[in-house]
Amino acid sequence: MTTPGQMQSEKSSTSSGQLLLAVGCVARRICGHIGWCQGQQPSPSQKPLVMVNSSPTCLEPATCDPAEVNWKGKWGLWESRAEDALEMKEQVKGIAYFVRLGFGGEEVRGCFSTRAAALAFQAQELQRHFGWPKQPLVPEPERSPIWDHPEELEALKEYSFHEPAASRAEALAARSKKAKKSDRGLVSESGSNALTEAQLRQYSDRGFLLGLPVLEPEELVDVLREFEELLHSRIHNAPSAEARFRAAHTISRPLHQSLVSRLARHEKILAIVEGILGPQFVCWSAHLFCKLPGDPTEQPWHQDAGFWPLTQSRAITLWLAFDDVDASNSSVTYVEGSHRLARLPWQPTASEHCLLTAEIPDVDLLGPFVASVLGAGEASVHADLTVHGSCGNSSDRRRAGLALRFVSTQAECLGPMINGYRMNGGCILPKGKASDPQGHWRSLRRRPGGNRAPRFPKDAANAEDPPIQVHP
C-alpha cells in the first residue's frame, strides 16, 4: 500500500496553495481556437488508453490505495458510496472523494477526504500533463439567468463519465426478458439497430460518436418539408440580417410539437440512446438549430454538464442532421478525450456573436479537435462532459439539425434552473412508467394545439428582436 508520505514525495512539484491561487485571466481567443475557426483539419484520433495505476500526489493525502477502489467504469470526480470499495476495509470507508482522469495514454487515480483536495489534485494533474491552463484563471463568471442553475446546487453535482459497458449489460438483460417480442423503443432481437461493441468502445474512448444512420430517404423528405415550413414562418419577415440569423439559429420547440415528438421517439434514435444509457431513460429537452449562410454566431467551448442541475453526469445529446454538415459550414467540433477530465472551469468570453457568455479556455491543450461530418439523416451523439463548440458559418451552405437531450433516470434533477425551468417537469418517457420506475421524471402533458404565430409579423419591420433563450 502506498503511504501518504510516499504519495507526497512521488511527483509533487506544485503546492496546493499555488494551485488554488493559480487563478487568472486568459486571452479571449487562443491560437488553437483561432485555427479551429479558420477551418483547421481535425487531428488524428487518440491512441488507445494505456491503463496506468498512477499513485497520486495527494495534496491532502487519503489513507487508501487506489488499487483497492472499484472504479466501475467511471471517470472524473465523485463522492464515495459503499459500493466504491472492493473490500470495505476501515481505511476505505473514511474516504469521501475519488478522482480518475485520463490524459491521452495515461490514467491517474486518487482518493481524498475533502472535495477541495480532490479538485486541487485535478488542477495539479491538468497542469502537469497538459500545461493547462496557459495562464492563471480569473474567478468564474456569474451564472447566466437564461441557461444555468443556481450556484448552491453546484456542490451537490457529480461530474463523472460512465462507460456504456454496464448500461449495455442492463439493456441486454432487459431485452432477454422480452425475447421475440417487438416493443417500440427497444432494439430488435437481431440487434440490427444497436451500437456495436466497437462503437461503444469508441464512445468510451473519445466521448462522442459520428455518422450514425437514422432517417431513411423518404423520412428525411418529410422531416425537411416540416422544418422548411417552420423556418419560413420564423424568418421571412425578419427586419434585418441579424434578426434573421437569430430567429433561425435556435428554434426552441417543446417536445409536444409534432416534428420533435416524433423524432424523439424514433426507433433508431432510442436504440442508440439505450446502447449508451441503458434501458431506463427519458428525453427531457430538444432544440432545432439552424445556422444560415453567413451567420456569425459562435457556440464557445463548453461542457453541457456544467449547465444542468443533475445528481450525476448521465446525460447525452443526439444531434440529428437535416443538412449535410462538416467543418466548412460550422459543424460541431469536439475535443477528443475531454470527457475523462471531470468538469473544467469557465472563463468569460468576449466574442461579439455567441449564445454563451463563458467558455472553457485553452482547449487546444486538452486533446485533438474532431469536426463532425454528417450526411443529412445521420446523427452524432456526445456525452455531457465532452468539450465541444462551433464557429460562425462563413460558407454559402446552411447547417440545420435537431438536438435531442436524453438522461438516464439513475440521475435526478436537483432543482430548477435560475429561470425556473425544471428538467424533470415534462419529458418523453419512451417506455412509459418503465422508463422511470421511481417516478422522478414527469411525463409530458398534452397541450392545446394550434399553429405558432410568426416570429416577425408583417407590421413588425422596426420591432426590436427579442432575446433568444436556449438550454445549451
Helices (H), 250-324: 258-264, 267-277
Global pTM exceeds 0.85? no
Res 85: pLDDT: 53
CB atoms within 10 A of CB 334: 26
Is the pLDDT at 188 greater than 50? The verdict is no
Query: What does the pLDDT look like over 283-319, one tens digit per residue?
Result: 999 988 899 999 998 889 999 999 999 999 999 999 9
Is position 338 within any domain? Answer: yes
Last-in-domain residue among 102, 136, 170:
136
Cα separations in angstroms, 42 against 236, 264, 333, 335, 364? 36, 30, 9, 10, 12
Total domain count for the chain?
A: 2
Whether 203 and 108 share a structural domain: no
Is 237 part of a structural domain of the chain?
yes
Q: Residue 130 belongs to what domain range?
A: 93-136
Averaged confidence pLDDT in the chain: 78
Q: Are residues 120 and 209 in the same domain?
A: no
Note the Cα 147 to chain centre separation in Å: 14
Does 10 fall in a domain? no
**313 inside domain:** yes
Do residues 265 and 185 lie in contact, with contact meaning Cβ atoms separated by under 8 Å? yes
pLDDT exceeds cutoff 70 at 233: yes
CA distance 72 to 181: 31
Over 80: is that where the pLDDT of 184 sits? no
* Confidence band, pLDDT 50/70/90 cuts, at residue 169: low
Last residue of a domain, one of 136, 165, 188: 136
Q: 3-state SS of the chain: helix, strand, coil percent to 5?
A: 30, 20, 50
Classify residue 160: in a domain, yes or no: no
Is residue 361 helix, strand or coil? Answer: coil
Please indicate, yes or no, if residue 182 is contained in any of the structural domains. Answer: no
Find the mean pLDDT for residues 448-452: 46
What CATH code is carried by the domain that includes residue 409?
2.60.120.620
Per residue in 88-103, pLDDT tens? 444 455 568 999 999 9
Domain shared by 204 and 131, yes or no: no
Q: What pLDDT does residue 230 have? A: 87
105 domain-assigned: yes
3: pLDDT confidence band, cut at 50, 70 and 90?
Answer: very low
Q: What is the pLDDT of residue 353?
A: 73
Least-confidence region, from 78-92, 118-132, 261-275: 78-92
Same domain, 127 and 267: no
**End-to-end CA gap in the chain:** 44
* 190: its cell numbers: 437481431
Helices (H), 131-210: 164-176, 197-206
Query: Domain check: are 236 and 124 in the same one?
Result: no
Residues 111 and 240 in one domain: no
The predicted pLDDT at position 19 comes to: 36
CA distance 124 to 118: 10
Contact present, 49 and 100 (Cβ < 8 Å): no
Same domain, 109 and 236: no
Contact between 320 and 215 under an 8 Å Cβ cutoff? The reply is yes
Q: Which residue has the cell 434585418?
A: 240
Residue 119 shares a structural domain with residue 242? no
Cβ neighbours for 225, distance < 8 A, ≥ 6 positions apart: none
Q: Quick one: 243 and 362 in the same domain?
A: yes
Query: Any idea which of 35-44, 130-139, 268-277, 431-440 has the lowest mean pLDDT?
Result: 35-44
